[in-house]
Amino acid sequence: MEPLPYLRQIKLKRDEISDFGVYPFVLPVVSSLDALDFAPGVTMFVGENGSGKSTLLEAIAIGMGFNPEGGTRNFNFVSRQTHSDLNQFLTFSKSFKRPRDGFFLRAESFYNVATNMDELDEQDTGKLEVPNIKDSYGGRSLHHQSHGEAFLSLFVNRFGGGGLYLLDEPEAALSPSRQLAMLNRMRELVQAESQFIVATHSPILMAYPGATIYQVDETGVYQVEYEETEHYQLSRAFLNNPKTFLRELFADDDE
């Protein structure tokens, strides 16, 4: 029997929203939202910049108990209060089984998470009974690694299975080969009873076998197949014939 996802579904409390003309309710991803179901393994949100996929993922993360800027449920630092109150207008349908682990990764605020970890370790210096936080992340400060190394170190060392992992554009610091390594690690973690909800632009990550993919655009949010995503179609068209693609793109240069 396939294990239940930790987060099964979200629903928008439409009758509690007084004005769909203000942010974040004016976003099509929100104004069109009724209910969304999540896969036991991997669910992807894909769409253009500004479509609202990160706003939706942020609301889900906050509603599931994570810090708006990222980290585990134990992180509670605030660099700048910028998150919306969308989470207050969502209901969360969860399984009876609670995750043992969890992490909310935001590419844009990962620096702040790494800084907070270093600050906490510095506060605990000399307390032998308190292990350094960085020991769970490969033994080195994430600031002492490249951005891509830090991201991969997080996936390999910190994510331990049996967890709910929410990732916002994790490909931002990863080369194509590292994205493939991430896919492999995701597979290992899903097999260890983990659930992933990911907002991404990467056609490599979108290719995760069996992932549920939601397209987010000006019409709202709806489920699509991998080959139907604009990211896949555009990447395939370019890689199949880059010279023709670039010639058309730079046509004005010849005028």
How far is CA 163 from its chain centroid? 14
Tell me the per-residue pLDDT of 109-160, one tens digit each, with 9 for 90 and over. Answer: 454 555 555 554 455 554 444 444 455 555 555 454 555 577 777 888 888 8
How far is CA 137 from its chain centroid? 19
**R_g of the chain, CA atoms, integer Å:** 19
Cβ partners under 8 Å of residue 165, min gap 6: 102, 103, 105, 159, 189, 194, 195, 196, 197
Tell me the per-residue pLDDT of 9-61, one tens digit each, with 9 for 90 and over. Answer: 999 999 999 999 999 999 999 999 999 999 999 999 999 988 999 999 999 99
pLDDT value at position 151? 74
| 106/7 Cα distance (integer angstroms) | 19
Tell me the per-residue pLDDT of 204-245, one tens digit each, with 9 for 90 and over. Answer: 999 999 999 999 999 999 999 999 999 999 999 999 999 998
Task: With cut-offs at 50, 70 and 90, classify the pLDDT of residue 254.
Answer: low
Nearest to 64 by CA among 99, 40, 29, 33: 99
- Average pLDDT of the chain, as a whole number: 83
As a whole-number percent, the residues of the chain with pLDDT over 90 amount to: 58
| 159/156 Cα distance (integer angstroms) | 6
pLDDT value at position 106? 81
pLDDT value at position 37? 97
| 154/105 Cα distance (integer angstroms) | 9
Q: Is the peptide bond before 24 cis (omega within 30 degrees of 0)?
A: yes
Q: Where is pLDDT greater, at 147 or 6? A: 6
pTM of the model: 0.84
